[in-house]
Amino acid sequence: MEEKTDKVVGYIEYLGAGGMIGEIVPYTSVEKFKDEILDSLDCGRPVTPVVFSDELDEPLQFDSDTYFPWGFRSEMRVQIPYEIYQTNRRDLVFMEYSPARLAAGAKDYELVYKGQMERWETLDSIYSRHNRDDRPNAKTMRSVSVSDIIVTHKDNETHAFYVQPIGYKQVDNLLPELENATPSKAEQHER
C-alpha cells in the first residue's frame, strides 16, 4: 500500500550493488521511520536516511554512538515537475514507438497536464496515478496510455519517455519540439 505523501517526514534510500540507490521508500510516521533506520543499521543493510527537518515537530534524535556508514542527510522536501503530452491523431493513439516514430513527431502532441512528483516516485507512479478513477484532470484528458509522452525534470535533467505496452522508451530527441508545443485547454497545474 502506498503511503500518503502529504506529510512525509523523510525517506530511506536502500542501496544496492556499488552503492547505487535501488529503492526509495517514504515515511509519514516518525516512529516507523526511526525504527526502520535502526533495524537496517542493526542488520547491516546499506541505507541512507534522508530527513525533512522542516516537516518534523522536533529534531530526529539517535543515540550518540549511532553510526551511519552510508551517510545521513537532512534536506528540504522538493517536488519534481513533470508533464504529459497526448496526441489526438487516431492513427497514432495506442501505437507502439517503433511504427509511430516513422509516422509522427512532436508536432502531433499537445501538452495536456503539468504536475509534481516526489523524488521517490517513478514513471510507473505517474502512470498509475493517471489511470485511477480519481486521477487528476479526469474530465479533460484521457488516462495515460501507450503513445503518450511523459517529460520529467529531475536532478537538473529533462527527459522524455514514450509510454510503451510494457515500459517506456526514452525519446529525448523530441524535447526541443515538445517544449514548443501548444498547451491544450485541458492542461492543469495540480497534484
Q: Percent of the chain at pLDDT above 70? A: 91
- Average confidence (pLDDT) over 175-191: 64
Pairing of strands 80-87, 149-154: antiparallel
54 backbone φψ class: left, alpha, beta (φ>0; ψ -120 to 50): alpha
Model confidence over 156-170: pLDDT tens digits? 899 999 999 999 999
Strands 73-74 and 47-51: parallel
- The model's confidence at residue 5, banded by pLDDT at 50, 70 and 90, is very low
| Total number of residues shown for the chain | 191
Instruction: Note the pLDDT tens digit of each residue in 37-59.
Output: 999 999 999 999 999 988 888 88
| Distance in angstroms (rounded) separating the CA atoms of residues 119 and 117 | 7
> pLDDT tens digit string along 99-113?
777 777 778 889 999
Pairing state between β 47-51 and 21-27: unpaired
Q: Which residue has the cell 525533512?
A: 52
The reported pLDDT for the residue numbered 31 is: 93
Q: Are 188 and 140 in contact (CB under 8 A)?
A: yes
Question: How far is Cα 95 from Cα 97, in angstroms, rounded to an integer?
Answer: 6
